[in-house]
Amino acid sequence: MDILVSTGSLTGIPLRTAFDLARRAGADGVELMLTGRLVRRGPERIQVLEDWTGVPVRAVHAVMRLREPSLHQAADDILLSARFAHSLAHCDTLVVHIPNAPTLHAPGTRIWFDAIETALAVTEQGRTRIAVENTGRLRRSDPDPFLDHPDRLLRFAQEWGVAITFDSAHAASQGWDVLDVVPRLAPHLANVHLSDYGRHTFRIGLANALLRDHQLPGSGVLPLDDVLARLVQAGYDGLVTLELSPVALRVPWLPSAERRLAAAIGRCRAAIFTALRAGRTTHHPGRP
């Protein structure tokens, strides 16, 4: 497994600095969180950053906007993101959120499906796979998207030929048993957004996004070492992206962010190594 850092975790610092910080912390690459501004500037600037820093963009997250986009804007963002990701030489995965719709027949769902179909055509001849991501619940009043269920997500991936990005904090906010879900999704995973889940839920959604979700591994309630072990046991060898709250990393205080990020990467690698070694011992008792 390759360990990436989401540039969204380093919001508020220049992108060049974020790439350099990820390299110094020991990451194998980054997942680029696209914004409208980055898309307008085009992928050429990112290609230059990859060359300058030696840090490859291994995954791209579809455009995120501060305000909820219209249905057509959201569909356009998927296509823009697919073209952007397809232009990057090292990009394996394009992360796309599922539609916020309670049924498959809700207004706008057809627009989302059409956008996914066109994005698949854009990326068909390249290395980039589209991977739909389970979403989180920031407030108790948030609606339940139809596809935000392990069985329905898995069926969609099977029928449409897309991959899945599993987000551990989002899963926890929906009450999923992460140790049960991971092996079931593993054959279709292309990326895992790994982060811990805090012990306290706040009344305000933004507080949950920054202070409860996407916490440093080991600081919350999720058995993330066991999640990584289950991935190893399932034969998963794809991307693991540390998608962490900037507050948890103490951004923009760079020395602290680098130390915390390096520790998180080290913890993930240690858990993966331990699981791999345990697997070898199980299958070959005579080996050290």
Say what the pTM is: 0.93
pLDDT on residue 142: 78
Match 């998608």 to its residue by tokens: 243
The pLDDT, as a whole number, for residue 227 is: 98
pLDDT at 116: 97
Give the pLDDT of residue 136: 87
CB count within 10 Å of CB 258 equals: 18
User: How far is the C-alpha of 248 from the C-alpha of 46, rounded, in Å?
Assistant: 26
| Residue 285 burial class via C-beta count within 10 angstroms: exposed 0-12, middle 13-18, buried 19 and up | exposed
Q: What is the CA radius of gyration of the chain?
A: 18
Q: What is the pLDDT of residues 117-157, one digit of tens each?
A: 999 999 999 999 999 999 988 877 777 888 999 999 999 99
The pLDDT of residue 170: 96
Q: Which two tokens stand for residue 104?
A: 């498959």
- Enumerate residue ranges in the chain where pLDDT < 70: 281-288
